[in-house]
Amino acid sequence: DGGITQSPKYLFRKEGQNVTLSCEQNLNHDAMYWYRQDPGQGLRLIYYSQIVNDFQKGDIAEGYSVSREKKESFPLTVTSAQKNPTAFYLCASSDRVAVGETQYFGPGTRLLVL
Amino acid sequence: AQSVAQPEDQVNVAEGNPLTVKCTYSVSGNPYLFWYVQYPNRGLQFLLKYITGDNLVKGSYGFEAEFNKSQTSFHLKKPSALVSDSALYFCAVRLPRGITGGGNKLTFGTGTQLKVEL
């Protein structure tokens, strides 16, 4: 059963703590993305990666970091520098050679601050 | 720069009636346009996309969308709404690769909450 998985479903962060959100896909997609969703603001791009060992900043990268060591995995770390991390985080992937390059999304991780 | 506007925060419709969720875009060039649906506490599900060709695009669950280049719109429609269609709908735009400003960046609207009532 192909798809994108994100874990955990809920994550709690304490002040000054770094936390890492997992994203795994078995769709054999080259490109992967991280978005942040806040009520009434749509989705905003944090980071994206087009191939292994390469990634670029999106519109709101400050306070976040990523790695892309494997094609199927694109973890996102929310660092202590991100002062307002409470949000719904969505991971997506796409096939770069497919017409239109539709992005497919995982189920999301909700991050809450204690 | 590319942008998407969804002018209605919420759309209410009675079950069995036709529904329309509006989307307009601003981009230089010929865009790729997408509609996604999101149920509470879930990820986005792809509904349909316009790449080129026929202006009327058919997608999942009986939804369709009409691309109108002169009005820069891509409204989502369904002939007969179901209560189960109640969800948050997002329109998104992207330029093709090779076009200035094109590539991976998918720009989303702020979403329209659809409520279908009995």
Name chain A contacts of B36, Cβ cutoff 8 Å.
105
Q: What is d(CA A47, CA A63) in angstroms, rounded to the nearest whole number?
A: 11
Q: Give residues with Cβ within 8 angstroms of B39, minimum separation 6.
A: B45, B87, B88
Contact B42 A107 (CB under 8 A): yes
A·B CB contacts under 8 A: 55
Contact A42 B109 (CB under 8 A): yes
Q: Please report which confidence band the pLDDT of residue A42 belongs to, taking 50, 70 and 90 as the band edges.
A: confident
Residue A114 has pLDDT above 90, yes or no: no
Contact A104 B46 (CB under 8 A): yes
Q: What is the dihedral of CA A32, B40, B94, A24, to 10 degrees?
A: 10
**Test mutation, B44, B45, B99, B107, chain A, max A CBs within 10 A:** B44
Return the minimum-mean-pLDDT range out of A15-19, A53-57, B27-31, B95-99: B95-99
Q: What is the mean pLDDT of residues A79-98?
A: 91
Q: Are B44 and A105 in contact (CB under 8 A)?
A: yes
Name chain B contacts of A94, Cβ cutoff 8 Å.
104
**Test mutation, A10, A29, A38, A43, chain B, max B CBs within 10 A:** A43
Q: Using CB atoms, which residue from A90, A99, A103 is nearest to B51?
A: A99
B54-99 residue pLDDT tens: 999 999 999 999 999 999 999 999 999 999 999 999 999 987 666 5
Q: Are A100 and B32 in contact (CB under 8 A)?
A: yes
Q: What is d(CA B6, CA A80) in angstroms, rounded to the nearest whole number?
A: 34
Q: What is d(CA A27, CA A95) in angstroms, rounded to the nearest whole number?
A: 8
